[in-house]
Chains A and B, each alone.
Chain A
Amino acid sequence: MLRHRWQGLLALSGIALGVAVVLAVDLANSGARAAFELSAQQLQGKATHRLAVPGASLPDEVYVSLKRTPGAPPMAPVVNGWVRVEGGTVRYQLVGFDLFAEAPFRSQLAGVATDAGFIGDWLTQAGSLLLGAATARALDVAAGDRLDIVYRGRPATLNVLRIDEQQSRVTADLLLVDIASAQSILDMHGHLSYVDLILDAAGEAWVRQRIPAGVQLQTVAAQAQGVKRLSAAFELNLTAMSLLAMLVGMFLIFNAMTFSMVQRRNLFGRLRTLGVTPAELFSLILLEAAIVAVLGTLLGLSLGVWLGRGLTRLVAATVSELYYNVSVTALHLDWTALIIAAGVGVVATLLATVVPAWRAARTPPLTTLSRAALEQAVHRGIYLWALPGLLLLAAGLLLALALPGGVLMSFAGLFALVLGAAMMTPLVIRIVHRLLAHAGLPGIWRMGVRDLDRHLSRLGIAVAALMVALSASVGVGLMVESMRASVNTWLGDLLCADLYVAAQGFDAGATLPADVVQDVLRLESVAALSRYRERMLPLAGRRVELIGAHLSAPSRRGFALLSGTASAWKDFAAGAVLVSEPLAYHLGLAPGSTLMLPTPAGPQAVQVAAVFRDYASEHGRLFMDEAVYRNYWPDQQVDSLALFARNGDVESMRREVSELAARTAIVLTPAAAILEESMAVFDRTFRVTEVLRAVLLLVAFIGVLSALMALQLERAREYAVLRALGLTRGQIAGLISGESLLMGLLAGCVAIPTGMLMAWVLIQSVQRRAFGWTMPFSVDGPLLLQTLLVGLLAAGLAAVYPAWRSAQRHPAPQLRED
């Protein structure tokens, strides 16, 4: 090994990079996941049950009357909502609680009030704020400072009353205020978000007997499932990236080890000639591989932790923008991730060694020395690999697309598909070689092509490794692009009105003042309008958005109905609902099916009129006619309006509505602005995917680059012979570069169809099973071209140094060396 220092370094760095990429991606994912789950659970405290009104808030009286009944169990009311800090993008959860009710639940919260001034200021001053130390640092505020926040576009001011230095999990990342402040800021006068309870069986019965209809008592475990679902889309992204990282990592290791074995066939032959028995040789090689595996894995683990730290921050930042603020203060050292990464390192190394070692040990001494014999064996091996590869690829497609199953099955199929394609790569090289060999290329080029085929044993896996990284990049990239295109089209159709009116911002259902709705109706310039009222509805463990809507004819045309009879809109008016594709998929709904909705008046059966394409929520959305909605939820509020201008005179309408806006707290948004904002959110969601994709590609790039470089350097003597035979420096450099570029091109060419297959599986199987939505597959030309270029660039760069060196050197010393 020492004699072949390039190979030694290559093997070590290959293993280390492979292990590092698996670990880093896994750590980032588990870190973000853990932070998210902790945030979801942190407020739970010791509560066993939760009291709430499905899809609505809980009237104060329900809590107060229970609280005043003798024999009442411990109860704590909570008023919460999501706000943004003025000028920032991160969402924070504002939590209002009652200090006096907290002791049995979250003693840390109750325990912050230990001195005279605190309770007085806390209870009597509006907006008194309690912050965890880390959150205060993140927000750059100290006790006494003010913090401006925005809730649904409406500004509010908080005053930092105390920083909790205890660093307790309960205060982290939350804006904690008194329940009175929360009701005022979140516009929840007379209402609570929920009530936490600590109940035994008798307590549960006690509460059940006393709660009014419409109020639900749920165990915390049942409730937590709803929260967890929130992160499913994001998690899926992360899981996909972990799996791809594992694939790329394994191939990097295979590449490094196979290369190292093949390079030393001569050495093994010599050892056999010197009388080393096959058994001895086999154990020697395996021992060496084990040492390299352990060293490389250790190196990889530390590299992975370092890389993982940066990635974790990045992933957490995205979670903060999409959901709510989570802080990853320390790297979440997940043992499973460490074990998996170490396992990949050691197992992949040994697997890559066993077959060549066995072969090296078994062959008689003389043939060991013969290069031709080995290459022959490798060429036979091409078919041995290609056939199972093809089968694996087919099995993968079958698993993901044809067989029933969950998301995990889809991923297993995806894995098999890529592995199969990688195993077939050497055969593709061989075929390309055959084609090129008969293409009548000029001499030096023919030589390069022949060379490539001759070195298939060394290069096959390097090309396959590059191919896997490139195809993963193509697959994920195409999926994201397809989705982006679909979302864009869908939003474009849906946002067909000229102007949208909402109470301060469009992001979620703040309600419009009733007089505004009346006034807008009376405007001359408004030809038609649609009204919307939104609420969350827990349905079969999902947080479904229910929208009570009065839809005008043009708004109706914006719906892409996927299935539904011609009478869909007539049925809708008669009380049937429109369900989004994800909801229909997960609950097995079709036009005509019946759905039970939890309403304040108890469960109500409604008919499904049609299924519409929708990417707004993976949990699902339901549209119900406004009149029907008001039967079940007797509130008269309207969250937003969609306005259509008379005779297309948008400007007049805009002017008229603006006059209304001037005297009330409403915001006008043209459809284009909403579309733009929505696409920005979309892009933020997938920014992590993009970065992880780039990291994978970079690592693969480095791995393949080092492999190619090592190969070319090892062949220095060969080039010296060529020089001695009369080839010019330029010709040598050209030969080396040409060979490398051909490899990159080959990897790219195989990666493109493989990546497209992956994208197909991701869209048709993974997305469908995870989220329930479908989308047209769109091929993005520039992305494919980019993949080819990256392949060529990796290969080209790899050739630069060897080409320069071989061309510079005088052939004589190289030839003398042997």
Chain B
Amino acid sequence: MRYLLLLLAFVLSACETQQPANAPALRVDQVLGAEPAAGFARAFAPRSFRFPEDHGAHRDYATEWWYLTGNLQTASGRHFGYQFTLFRVALRPGEALQDSAWRTQQIYMGHMAISDIAAARHYSAERFARAAAGLAGARVTPFAVWLGPWSMRAGSELFPLTVAAQHEDIGLALQLQSGDKPLVLQGERGLSRKSATPGNASYYYSFTRLPTRGELRIGDTVYTVQGNSWMDREWSSSALDSDQAGWDWFSLQLDDGRDLMYYQLRTRQGEAHAFSRGSLVGTDGAVRTLLPDQVTLTPLHHWQAEDGARYPTRWRLQVAELQLDLEVQALLDDQLMDHSVRYWEGAVEVSGSHHGSGYLELSGYAGHSPSL
């Protein structure tokens, strides 16, 4: 998922808290169109994952992330969505100069968001730090990924995982349990190919249903919440192919206990790219791959952002052979992440043949003029 997005961190104007109002919106395809610098490791073939080592950073690859999303509720049923992501970006391949403890080739970017569905408000924040002098980094045992005061921490195992992130008007203090679902290797034994070009692939694994409890803060109000989270781990040195414009990514937790992930890579003509992929994780943890010719995705409703970009926030997702006919509806239209990289990421509810909840990510729409 979130395949590549992040190379963008290069481009960022360097803000820790807020994007300057006049910063140019970035188009994902433009930024990612270029080949990554030579010298980075590439994902050519499936690898044998080793844990807990692979929960830590893979500094030879250009980008990497620890990606959490989830739907949480208070005891009284108030619904919140959250996203908490720490991205690692290698600015240059190879080892840094040794002239100062502050010198590094690697930086971290953090995104945090809370969707307060009842109040129809979406809050988000962004942070950066260099992976040096202890300001940001990742460690295998005891597990930790941190960016200033934002962190995911655990012991010798990845779970229970403690999430701590406070920003001006929002904050997260959550604990994630491993639950019943196993680690899922996406794609071909964890190798997720994004195009026909060799090396345009990532290593990608997920934890699709993580029982979560803890506290959410909005302003001075703290909500005690529980629910389920989804974690994606992915690293690569990929670029978008020239015919790819962006992607629509779904992570859905169905009430019957099954979890569905599907990303549709879009061509410049707006059609599904042949390398779109998905997986359905059964209640027993068995994984079934989904190919584009098995899945029908139809946008039902668009929300138009201030910059004119139109985001499809209601979808019909059909997998005929699995008798899935789902309507995926954003719980809030405006869940735009308007930071150094502009994309839409938000909580959704699932209805139709099955019910459930999940997260939807839409990228590659910013900067495209509406087709009307």
Contacts and interface: CB of A to CB of B under 8 A. Distances in A.
B3 interface: no
Interface in A170-212: 178-181, 183-184, 189-190
B20 A178 contact: no
A67 B102 CA distance: 14
Nearest to B102: A180
A753 B60 CA distance: 82
Given A70-B149, A71-B149, A98-B130, A120 B92 contact: yes
B371 to A, nearest CB: 28
B16 A183 contact: no
Contacts of A71: 149, 166
B49 to A, nearest CB: 29
A670 to B, nearest CB: 34
B274 interface: no
Is chain A's interface secondary structure helix, strand, loop, or mixed overall? helix
A115 interface: yes
A487 B282 CA distance: 89
A72 B12 contact: no
A73 to B, nearest CB: 10
Interface stretch (B67-75, B131-139, B177-185, B259-267): B131-139
Most buried by B among A61, A68, A98, A100: A100
B304 interface: no
A189 B100 contact: yes
B14 interface: yes
Nearest to B108: A100
A126 interface: yes
B166 A113 contact: no
B148 interface: yes
B309 interface: no
A126 B105 CA distance: 12
Contacts of B91: 119-120, 123-124
B149 A183 contact: no
Interface residues of B, number: 37
Nearest to B18: A103
A124 B134 CA distance: 17
B97 A113 contact: no
A180 B132 contact: yes
B303 interface: no
Contact of A179 (B20, B24, B92, B102): B102
A124 B96 contact: yes
A189 B97 contact: no
A58 to B, nearest CB: 13
B31 A116 contact: yes
B148 to A, nearest CB: 5
A101 interface: yes
A99 interface: yes
Interface in B110-168: 128-130, 132-135, 146, 148-149, 164, 166
Nearest to B99: A184
A101 B127 CA distance: 9
Nearest to A102: B14
Contacts of A117: 10
B15 interface: yes
B164 to A, nearest CB: 6
Contact of A100 (B14, B18, B24): B14
Nearest to A188: B100
Contact of B100 (A74, A103, A110, A183): A183
B332 interface: no
B89 to A, nearest CB: 9
Contacts of A99: 14
Given A98-B130, A100-B128, A113-B13, A123 B99 contact: no
B11 A101 contact: no
A124 B99 CA distance: 11
A710 to B, nearest CB: 64
A342 to B, nearest CB: 44
Contacts of A113: 12-14
B166 A180 contact: no
Given A115-B11, A124-B92, A180 B100 contact: yes
Interface in A84-136: 98-104, 107, 110-111, 113-117, 119-120, 123-124, 126
B149 A68 contact: yes
A67 B166 CA distance: 12
A69 B150 CA distance: 9
A60 B103 CA distance: 13
B99 A181 contact: yes
B104 interface: yes
A725 interface: no
Interface string B1-38: 00000000011111111101001100000010000000
Given A67-B149, A111-B20, A123-B107, 20 more contacts: A67-B135, A71-B149, A72-B149, A74-B16, A103-B17, A110-B13, A114-B11, A114-B24, A116-B10, A116-B31, A119-B14, A120-B92, A123-B104, A123-B105, A124-B104, A180-B132, A183-B99, A183-B102, A184-B99, A189-B101
20 contacts: A61-B134, A64-B133, A70-B164, A71-B166, A74-B16, A110-B15, A110-B20, A113-B12, A113-B14, A116-B10, A116-B31, A119-B107, A120-B91, A124-B103, A179-B100, A180-B101, A184-B100, A184-B103, A189-B100, A190-B101
